[in-house]
Amino acid sequence: MIVTLTPNPSIDRAYDLDRLLVGEVNRAAAVHVDAGGKGINVSRALHAASIPTRAVLPVGGPDGELLLALLAQLRVPTVPVPVEGDTRSNITLVAGDTTKVNAPGPNLDDAARDRLLDAVADTLAPGDVVVAAGSLPAGVAPDLYVRLGALVRERGAGLVLDTSGPALQQAVAAGGLALIKPNDDELAELVGRELPTVGDVVTAARELVATGTDRVLVSLGAHGALLVSADGSWWAGGPALVAASTVGAGDTTLAGYLAACTSGRGADSRTDLAADPALALRTAVAWGRAAVQLPGTAVPTPDLIRADEVRILTTPDPTTPIKEM
């Protein structure tokens, strides 16, 4: 089982525009409403590929009910944790470029935080993988993922983390993470310096591996992705694409990586994050490329994923600027 925790989920409303005129009345050509939040996006993508997953999430107010209804329509298994306040709505405006407006979400107290952690603990069995992803809601201290890491390890499971800022810094410092998935800017913030070349990114990722993180999957956006572990480094990417929406593509990339590490189906499935790194990275990038060609935060079905379009380098040239990959 791959369990996801999304502490600050959302309803994602995306509006397709011919162009965006600031200060003027704009009319949308289409509107897309999806269940959103990074961990939820991972669960949605995994479920679409028939990989066992369960999404743990706080819910409150009418949009919380809508969020659960949208996930029920997709038949994504959920563990809702009722909280005070309203689940947030995020707005995306797509007019060539993508403009996002993210709401803050409800304020969660310590009791709500503990209920979330208990909900994760109650779902876990040895060998499971927990994906904790996204920003923290107001009222939740940045040590949430440190607490989660200790809980996950006690249950004999592995923790994958996709977040940023102090929450990522504290979790990495605590160690014991199976995988983190920063983008290049988040990795630069984490190590405190600019990372203009592939070699700089690999060096920074190796520093994190040396301090207790098993694998670092770095999203480079349109320039592909890098995977770094104690065993080596790999880059994967493909031809340029015309993106319909980049929102949630990184979450689908992570789901693709997890899918490649999962063998079997149903109760017999098993996820081994140490599986073939080249295959896992190629699959991750293929899933992400499929996602950006879909509107809103839609996730690709297996028939849309083209791993044959992705090339991989097991020894990427360290002198190459990221924007030339």
Place of tokens 């990339």: 253
What span, in angstroms and rounded, lies between the C-alpha atoms of 55 and 124?
12
CB 2 within 8 A of CB 127: no
Whether residue 86 is predicted with pLDDT greater than 90 in this model: the reply is yes
Place of tokens 């493909």: 238
SS3 (DSSP) at 267: helix
> Residue range 251-267: average pLDDT?
85
Is 276 part of the annotated catalytic residue set?
Answer: no
Per-residue pLDDT reduced to its tens digit, 280-311: 999 999 999 999 888 877 788 888 889 889 99
Q: CA torsion angle for 230, 189, 184, 206 (degrees, to 10)?
A: -10
Q: What is the structure's pLDDT at 76? A: 96
What span, in angstroms and rounded, lies between the C-alpha atoms of 300 and 286?
10
Whether residue 266 is predicted with pLDDT greater than 80 in this model: the reply is no
Whether residue 325 is predicted with pLDDT greater than 90 in this model: the reply is no
CB 197 within 8 A of CB 321: yes
What span, in angstroms and rounded, lies between the C-alpha atoms of 161 and 40?
13
DSSP 106: P
Strands (E), 22-164: 30-36, 53-59, 78-82, 88-95, 97-101, 129-133, 158-162
CB 26 within 8 A of CB 105: no
Adjacency order of strands within the sheet including 10-16: 30-36, 10-16, 88-95, 97-101
Q: What percent of the chain has pLDDT over 90?
A: 69
Q: Are strands 88-95 and 97-101 parallel, antiparallel or unpaired?
A: antiparallel
Out of 12, 200, 214, 251, the active site residue is 251
SS3 (DSSP) at 15: strand
pLDDT interval class at 267 (50, 70, 90): low
Whether residue 158 is predicted with pLDDT greater than 90 in this model: the reply is yes
Global pTM? 0.90
What span, in angstroms and rounded, lies between the C-alpha atoms of 169 and 144?
12
What span, in angstroms and rounded, lies between the C-alpha atoms of 204 and 77?
37
CB 105 within 8 A of CB 87: yes
pLDDT, the chain, mean:
91
Per-residue pLDDT reduced to its tens digit, 26-74: 999 999 898 989 999 999 999 999 999 999 999 999 999 999 999 999 9
Q: Which region holds residue 269: left if phi is over 0, alpha if psi is between -120 and 50, else beta?
A: beta
Whether residue 247 is predicted with pLDDT greater than 80 in this model: the reply is no
Structure tokens given for 106: 């409800």
Whether residue 206 is predicted with pLDDT greater than 80 in this model: the reply is yes
Nearest Cα to 115, choosing from 88, 84, 153? Answer: 84
Helices within 165-217 (DSSP H only): 165-174, 184-191, 198-210
Whether residue 175 is predicted with pLDDT greater than 70 in this model: the reply is yes
SS3 (DSSP) at 290: helix
